[in-house]
Structure 1
């Protein structure tokens, strides 16, 4: 806690007065009093004597809080506290507010019937508070005699009609005045009307700290650096906001992150525009006026670049690139992420970070990649902290401990409850020795009608599971009760294997089921798994089939409490070991998945399947065609 009684009010107020007097445009002087204050270099008034302060306290019936008392001993009131309080009360001007503003009644209307004591206490502030604003621009400043700390300090509350927010609280009068000094600086620093540059000892000190914070951030000391930058930002120092926003964005923060002061600089646009544009695309609903607001002052080329980039982000075609060895690592990471190895992609990026080349002196870290549809999914707050903690641009520093991978490996994680506990059935195919892009040729219809994207490519562009599902329904007009073509995401399943995964399969029909492993195994080996041991409807089931060179080697299906099997099943996969006394479907499922992973050395990437973007395609039906006499329904729409 700040010792408010030990604060050097005189030095602080003299410094503030000098900064104001030396940079006051003559047309902003509010009359002769301001001119006198400017010439004297003093925004205050003569000090209040102890007797004068005591008389004030007797008039008000309360002893004033320590920091306000100490202030009065230096200046009995104050002019221009920030930008909107033109005269702050001294011993004569302070008075009980008694809801003069009508705010108590206004806020009371918004109280719920079940509002608690704390909420009612906040409303009553406007009846009990001591008003300090004497002349102000639609803003109220109140000391609260019932919000008192152990040092006897009263909290200060301010409210302005044009802020449209709840009252702002300060722990004490000193904290309030320090913030008003920052507000004064911020407003002066933001002027662009041809007046003299706002420069003084405070601005020079803060600018030096900004430069020191920049270098510290490049050395990996981002935590201390961002605190320094935020303090300088509060004073309106140029560079501070743009530098600090780069750190915040990599921590996953997007609110009020606009890279001010850097965004319209063409040097930094390739890195700073993409994350801003991507965030805008999520929330804009095709209204691009806010994006243009943040690009005010940019030249036509930069605005055109922003529009082109926005189109790319919206249609999923934006691709981040960078120069030098780090750029080469970006391309390798994208390929790893493309096929589901998000942990490997992240390690590829971070290993190359020391080789990263900034675009200019105010560029702290690579940022454009967060807008890339494949690379952006790698970011987590923990990974952002790791990136920021890694020394860059030739700066010396200690490398951070790598963050733990997000994929557990193996297959057993499929038995874990997922958010919402809605993954109770799933199916996948593992194919050995082939690349993921080859899977449609093995699992789609021979005539191509069951595979291929609507744009004529073999695989759809990378999408999340939800996006892929919505896309698959977009042009679908026919639905058949006998047709079970699976929409499957594809990727690499560990060394030597590729996978196709469906997390929302149709109901399992053991009478008509046809394993896709046989067709997928031509010239190699394939494994098909379909689990519904935790299905919400129907009896629990589990299927495993293994084929090689187009011939099924062995298979078993557990359904209806029975096990049906064929071929010579390895002992490790003997179904009776798992289902003889089935009491816990999740436990049996986990054991089965561990056995399958151990037998084939395959693994599915949890993070990619759950939330990342993967290529998808539609397989041939997992059920045989109807036989004579078997009824089925076909629904055609439109």
Structure 2
């Protein structure tokens, strides 16, 4: 099936007779004999022609003389076919011809009204909108309070004047169309769209609707084959004509491309077949905007003015509590379960590869689904799907079309594999920015222990249970801790290693610091790193301590040019080599640690993902003889958070 010619016509030459004849025939064919109309409708119905007689060359010349301007090409050629037009879209009942066209000269006071809203910060575009009404050519004769004007100062390389339409009931700025022919094509699409929305829409069938509906079916097949770009083009045109299914399918592509504005899946979220997949997606986006009331969500899921009940209420509650679990059936569902387990421990790259490998096995819930958009509602998997990965998902054949070749060859233009987002090793920590200027961090690496066991191994304050996975900003929002404790995110740090990472420690204090590596090394080796940039008059810091089987083997602390060391430090980790003569090389030190122990920290999971957390015990040694510590603490969490730790410790 080829793309429909329903709205073609680029360039100065345009086939007005064919276009307007098709429009007239479709209007007449869809008209109910008993339908109330306007003056002249019966005549137009009998003639099956919404226009009038062509304007003679003399009438066109007289109009141009009256205006003092030569008409733009597409409007002039339009008049040569018909001297005016009935029913331009749904709200312009009569477009003027040579007799009625005139300079607007702000007769309706619109320019004055627009200027009332201008202030000293008004943009040039806003000022131009107000001035438009003084200079524009008025085309409208009868309408539902819709103004149609051409701007003689907004001219393209072909001499076409831009057309602007504005209606007070639309509550939006004037809408621009590049030329008169573009305006008329938009009105033709509006005619189709309004007819398709009527109760008698099934009776509105013609060659144009048949071609567009065939394109919708073809677009879905294209999308499943991986040619989502062509599918998007076909569905966009079909949606503009109001064709059934087009918006529901197009919104799935748009959502995966990150364009969620006005995307609601065309009512498909209220369909029992698809609600389990699409309601959570709408709810997840709504829950991210805490300022929104639930009326907007009700509107999108068709619940206005009723209260949310059943699946919609459950979806919104799960989105706010971040408890939704995407659980499709079949082989793809098994891959989703495996990917969730990988993502929860920081292996987001591995999770993506697991999903991608199984994507050809994905099957739609019904004929109006073309991708597993439910992934975007899962709080663990949504961060895995970066913009590049979403495009790769769309470009991957699936849904029974996995053996097909995407239209356009072996791969579409954006089907290149998405790169992994978490580099190997630790050196990336030296130049990262985690949501702000503070770049200090500390972490513990533990060998031979699963990440879920870290609270018991490192030492947790209070309950040793891990908190539910959360994003870093959510952890930050829970409040502050004593400087000697840490709210750490946990995960896997490579084969046989786990990590506990604190992205926002308070200042390091060497005399009272007690490395948690000793306690964490009961089952093997443990590595502690604490680094901070130079700030507030304090030199840059880098600390490393390594313990094994409950004993510290070696440690070093570099602060500016001062170096403290203990134990037998391997040559590869020797601070004198890594930080020689005060030359600060944090990245080299991190790379050396990664190579020495075969460890990595997952950048994407720590910065964008959701990880389990817990609060460690003190990182400060007990007071010695004659010492007294006073440590203040602020409760983290909220009254609604049953996992918030206990109150102050002293």
Contact 1:14 1:42 in 2 (8 A): yes
1:205-224 superposed Cα distances (whole Å, 9 cap, x missing partner): 10011111111111100001
Report what 1:542 is aligned to.
542
The list of structure 1 runs, each at least 4 consecutive aligned residues, that deviate by more than 6 angstroms after superposition, is: none
Q: Does residue 406 in structure 1 map to residue 412 in structure 2?
A: no
| Aligned partner (choices 395, 399, 413) of residue 393 of structure 1 | 399
CA contact under 8 A between 1:413 and 1:606: conserved in structure 2? Answer: yes
Distance 1:54 1:537 in 2: 81
Cα distance in 2 for partners of 1:595, 1:287 equals 51
Which residue of the other structure, out of 203, 211, 215, is the alignment partner of 1:197?
203
2:156 matched to 1:149? yes
**Quick one: which of 216, 228, 237 aligns to 1:222?**
228
What does residue 325 of structure 1 align with?
331
Q: Which moved more, 1:307-316 or 1:180-189?
A: 307-316
CA gap 1:164/1:537 in 2 versus in 1, 3 angstroms: farther
CA distance in 1, matches of 2:419, 2:342: 17
What do the CA deviations read for 1:366-424 (whole angstroms, capped 9, x no partner)? 01111111001112221111000001122112464321000111000000142665242
Report the Cα offset of residue 451 of structure 1. Answer: 4.5
Distance 1:196 1:422, change over 3 A: closer
Question: What is the CA-CA distance between 1:540 and the residue it aligns to?
Answer: 2.1
The residue number in structure 2 matching 1:599 is 596
Q: Quick one: structure 1 residues 286 and 115, their matched pair in 2 at CA, closer, same or farther if it must change by over 3 Å?
A: closer
Deviation per residue, 1:104-152 (Å, 9 max, x gap): 2222233343656555444321100000011111111001111111211
Structure 2 residue runs of 5 or longer lacking an equivalent are 1-7, 636-650
Match of 2:317 in 1: 311
Q: 1:623 to 1:437 in 2, by over 3 A?
A: same
CA distance in 1, matches of 2:191, 2:561: 77
Counterpart residue number, 1:455: none
Contact 2:9–2:15 at 8 Å: present in 1 too? no
Aligned to 2:215: 209
Which position in structure 1 is the counterpart of 2:169?
Answer: 162
* 1:337-356 residue CA offsets vs partner (Å, 9 max, x unmatched): 00111111011101100011
* Contact 1:356–1:393 (CA under 8 A) maintained in structure 2: yes
CA–CA distance in 1 between the matches of 2:100 and 2:116?
A: 30
- Helix, strand or coil at the partner of 1:260: helix
What's the C-alpha RMSD, in Å, of the aligned pairs? 2.2
Does the CA-based 8 Å contact 2:430-2:586 persist in structure 1? Answer: yes
Measured in 1, the distance between the counterparts of 2:473 and 2:532 equals: 20
Q: Which moved more, 1:15-24 or 1:70-79?
A: 15-24
Q: Determine if the alignment matches structure 1 residue 622 to structure 2 residue 619.
A: yes
- Say yes or no: does 1:582 pair with 2:582: yes
Contact 1:490 1:614 (8 Å CA) reproduced: yes
1:276 CA drift (Å): 1.0
Matching residue of 1:270? 276
Contact 2:560 2:582 in 1 (8 A): no
Find 1:434's aligned residue among 449, 456, 463: 449
Q: Does 1:378 align with 2:375?
A: no
Per-residue deviation at 1:40?
A: 2.1
Q: How many pairs align?
A: 618
Shift of 1:632: 3.8
Q: Secondary structure at the match of 1:314?
A: helix
Distance 1:190 1:3 in 2: 28
Distance 1:552 1:319, change over 3 A: same
1:236 is aligned to 242
State the distance in 1 between where 2:299 and 2:463 align.
Answer: 44
- SS of the counterpart of 1:90? coil
SS of equivalent to 1:614: coil
Are the counterparts in 2 of residues 251 and 380 from structure 1 also a CA contact under 8 Å?
no
The CA distance in 1 between the partners of 2:300 and 2:440, in whole Å, is 46
Superposition TM-score, scaled by structure 2 size: 0.91
SS of residue in 1 equivalent to 2:592? helix
> Structure 1 residues 462, 153: closer, same or farther in 2, change over 3 A?
same
Q: What SS does the aligned partner of 1:111 have?
A: coil
SS in structure 1 of the partner of residue 510 of structure 2: coil
Alignment of 1:204-603 (within 5 A): 204-283=210-289, 285=291, 287-296=293-302, 303-395=309-401, 396-397=404-405, 398=410, 400-418=415-433, 422-445=437-460, 449-452=461-464, 458-471=465-478, 484-559=484-559, 561-583=561-583, 585=584, 588-603=585-600
The 8 Å contact of residues 529 and 542 in structure 1, kept in 2 or not, is answered as yes
Query: CA 1:518 to 1:4, structure 2 compared with 1: closer, same or farther past 3 Å?
Result: closer
Structure 1 residues 444 and 304 mapped into 2: Cα distance closer, same or farther (>3 Å)? Answer: same
Deviations 1:188-221 (A, max 9, x none): 10112x5762111111110011111111111100
Tell me, in whole angstroms, the C-alpha distance in 1 between the residues paired with 2:506 and 2:135.
Answer: 66
Deviates more, 1:88-97 or 1:621-630: 621-630
**1:321 Cα shift?**
0.6
2-structure distance, mates of 1:598, 1:12:
70
CA distance in 1, matches of 2:127, 2:297: 40
Matched, 1:130 2:137: yes
Deviation at 1:335, TM superposition (A): 0.7
Which residue does 2:609 correspond to in 1?
A: 612
Deviation at 1:44, TM superposition (A): 1.0
CA contact (8 A) 2:479 2:634 kept: no
* In 2: Cα distance, 1:104 partner to 1:153 partner: 23
5+ unaligned residues in a row in structure 1: which ranges? 453-457, 474-478
